[in-house]
Structure 1
Amino acid sequence: MDKVEVVVAHAERVTLRLGDTFMKIDADQARIAVEVQAMAMAPVPTPEVRWHQPPVLAIAAMPGTALGVLGAPSTASAAAWAAAGAAIRRLHEAPLPPWPGRRLDDIVAELDRECEWLVSTGTLPADLVTRNREVAEAALRPWTPAFIHGDLQITHVFVDGDEFRGIIDWSEAARGDAMFDLAILTLGHEERLDDVLAGYGTDVDRDVIRAWWSVRSLSATRWLAEHGFDPSAPGCEVDVLKARM
């Protein structure tokens, strides 16, 4: 061990790597507590907790490699994506966590607030925002709560060859819509949805998944830009929105 690697750094949290240990420093101690409890409950492999001293959580590196990154083609096999889908199904069928998730009314209010900001500031064209707000409506309906990861980005799912190895970053885990997890995993990788569903099962509404792509991309664009990320990079959130036109 000869250096400290900064993995993620913004105003809300910082993740550092020292050898095979990751240290997460979070301004919201309740979020770290949720992460620890969610990993203990999840019926899928999660990182080993080495120690937890608020506001810091130290976890072991997850074996394998991430399914891919947003904005670039995934080199993982179709079998690996299917294995991830099967693991996510196990999570969604597990007993619910004791804490609630986000209320539908709050999601709708945030979405409308962000849409207004995107148009009023000229960040995105009004027709692009309007079309995606229409698409988003399919996701904004009552759902049967499932145990969801809540931030199932492609970089949070690890595989080794064709084998699923585990899932990291559980701070957003809660009760929620199972289709939201499937949407976040395949955001910007629509071509991999069939592979995921081969493992997850096909009893899903693809229109709802597509709708969550729009919800996520509209809602996250301002936050990403304000925290040092580029939602307009090729293959990222703005391209996801354009694909719905």
Structure 2
Amino acid sequence: MVRVAEREDSELDHGSWPATIPAVAQLLRDGLDLAPGVTLLVGENGSGKSTLVEAIAMAYGLSPEGGTTHSVHRTRPSESPLASALRLTRGLGAGRWGFFLRAETMHGWYTHLEENPGSNPFEPRFHEMSHGESFLAVLQHRFDSPGFYCLDEPEAALSFSATLALVGTLHDLARMGGQVLCATHSPVLAALPGATLLEVGEWGYREATWEELDLVQHWRAYLADPQRYLRHVID
């Protein structure tokens, strides 16, 4: 179990971004208990999903640009000040290992690995793979032990079948005692059995079932009748 709450000595301005995002305001006000297993944040662009995942990953000690607790690197700082205002409380006996998978900055982490090679001679050369292939290789080589895993829209690089493989990986992590926090737009990921779903929006965040998610309802309606949506965006 990981509890996320605002630090008592926080100097974050609650009247400015990102504290004005409803989901962030709720976190600062009420805190957030991350259930054992997988917690998925689902919502529209701009709802605060990635801001929460980024800040929680950084508060845990992970690089804002992705990687493990042992490979902190940074190219161009762009993160919000939220992380410095948060305190994470972990259960007794919990390990410190973690990984942050962030779709848009993973190439920077690949470069970091090439410049700072580890002791694993079987580690693949991620830069020599396609975007999707490298993500699948990361899942195979790095998502293999209990720890705290943060993922920001990992489906961005993955096909349908590869997203199903990610579902299997996250399920296995939860079974071995790992804890996962993931922001996603994917109804495939959101269907992960046993996952806690938090729908993020103008209300903040609230627990929901898969069937209740706006994401799922929109995809179902679109696949049933694409023209119902497309006639509004195509002349």
Provide TM-score, normalisation by structure 2.
0.29
Provide TM-score, normalisation by structure 1.
0.28
Higher helix share: 1
Q: Which has the higher contact order (CA 8 A, sep 6+)?
A: 2
